Amino acid sequence: MSRILFTNVSVLDCTGADPFPGQVLVDGERIKAVVPAGKLVAASGVTVVDGRGGTLMPGLIESHSHLSFLDCPSSVEMGFVPPEEHMLLTARNARRLLDAGFTSCMSAASAKPRLDIALRNAIDAGELPGPRTLAASPEMTVSAGLGDVRLWHMYRENFAVVLNGEQEFRRFAREMVREGVDTLKINISGDAGTPASPSGRTVMTEAEVEAVCDVARAHELRVACHARNSESVQMALRHGVEIIYHANFIDDATCAMLEAQADRVFVAPTLGATYTTLYEAGEWGMSTEVGERRGLGEELRQGIESMKALHRRGVRVLPGGDYGFAWNRNGTNARDIAHFVSLLEFTPMQAILAATKLGGEIMLRGHELGQIKPGYLADLLLVEGDPLQDVGILTDRKRFRAIMKNGEMQTCQDRVSYS
């Protein structure tokens, strides 16, 4: 078992306390001791890492990852990729996120049924580098819903499995449980990119949502949902969905319902994708003007207001921005933390806590993940500079002097530029 002592660091422990000059001792896969600078650490046989005044903080946690999304401009392109190549590219993306400082990922859908599962298992077994991952099913959607990209005369697919009726949802959910998912993902509302089912429509039925939640309860798993409008969020809450994605267009009554379940639910707005689709996708034919016409401006503006309201009410709002598209690539995920500061008016500390402490909670490991405390898993980032002064430095991989996962130093191999 290796013992590593970080010295000369500013410890941002993500308990909520201010950073302090200190030392952190890692023994095996866990943090053994956190002590102020100058205090002697009884540690023989340790490897000392001089942090040179950098910040030592927990590894970042992505709450809406799509490691199997291939950074394509159009989701249907993923459907053309055979499973074998798709698995290799998913493993590449896992490496990219780890290199970008993400040591944990809560998947928000796998583009093919077993990609997340196989990836998670290989990472957990130490066979591949990557963040610790909770595996999701593909997006379970209805005909004409988000992700149904079939044409009448031609079968096509992307990241979704099209199901109709309580029986089909129940059967597929059970099959995914058999294969080993951690989370079942359902698309309750429509989306701006789906003309037949825009964001304001609730397209799944009560019985379909209940069928999936029922399967999850029986197997002690969680359900995550795509839900843009009030009705779909309320339907999710009625049936016990734990993870609500988006929630842009929600009214006061829905905010109050979320507040009433604040210790049970997580909300991740995925502002990153909306932001880049609106402002940075011109090269792919989506000018801001086109984006506004498609409702993305409203999606962003109302999403911001909804998240501010939920944050004020004490609901856990987490970064994670649907990275995995051409203009919103896997590896640039830390931009969401900056969005929380610039768009949602989180303080840098609040935004960083949402990506670490709350991240540990959404991973179901708040007792051992996402903070620097004795006994916690040693997932650590040594960053040059102070992210509390500028959270933007977390998007700059050149600032990472060390990335540790499970007590092991990770060597960055992927030097692709993500600027």
Using CB under 5 A as the binding rule, the residues of this chain from 164 to 223 that contact Zn ion are none
CB of 287 to Zn ion, least distance (A): 23
N- to C-terminal Cα separation, the chain = 37
- Output 10 or 187, the one with its CB closest to Zn ion: 187
The count of C-alpha atoms lying within 13 angstroms of the C-alpha of 313, restricted to the half-sphere facing its C-beta, is 23
Stretch that binds Zn ion, among 24-32, 88-96, 283-291, 319-327 (CB under 5 A): 319-327
Binding-residue pattern over the window 275 to 314 for Zn ion, x denoting contact by CB under 5 A:
----------------------------------------
DSSP string, 109-125: --SSTTHHHHHHHHHHT
CA max distance for the chain: 72
- Chain centroid to CA 288: 25
What is the total count of residues that contact Zn ion (CB under 5 A)? 2
- Output 19 or 321, the one with its CB closest to Zn ion: 321
Distance CA 270, CA 64 (A): 7
CB of 77 to Zn ion, least distance (A): 16
Q: Residue 104 in contact with residue 133, Cβ under 8 Å?
A: yes
Q: Judged by CB under 5 A, does residue 146 bind Zn ion?
A: no
Stretch that binds Zn ion, among 95-103, 315-323, 334-342, 385-393 (CB under 5 A): 315-323
- Chain centroid to CA 417: 21
- Output 60 or 227, the one with its CB closest to Zn ion: 227
Q: With both helix axes pointing from N to C terminus, report the angle between 252-260 and 296-312 in degrees, rounded to the nearest 10.
A: 40
- Output 159 or 376, the one with its CB closest to Zn ion: 159
Using CB under 5 A as the binding rule, the residues of this chain from 322 to 351 that contact Zn ion are 322
Binding-residue pattern over the window 91 to 110 for Zn ion, x denoting contact by CB under 5 A:
-----------------x--
Position 334, amino acid: A
Distance CA 190, CA 175 (A): 24
Using CB under 5 A as the binding rule, the residues of this chain from 105 to 144 that contact Zn ion are 108
Residues that bind Zn ion (CB under 5 A): 108, 322
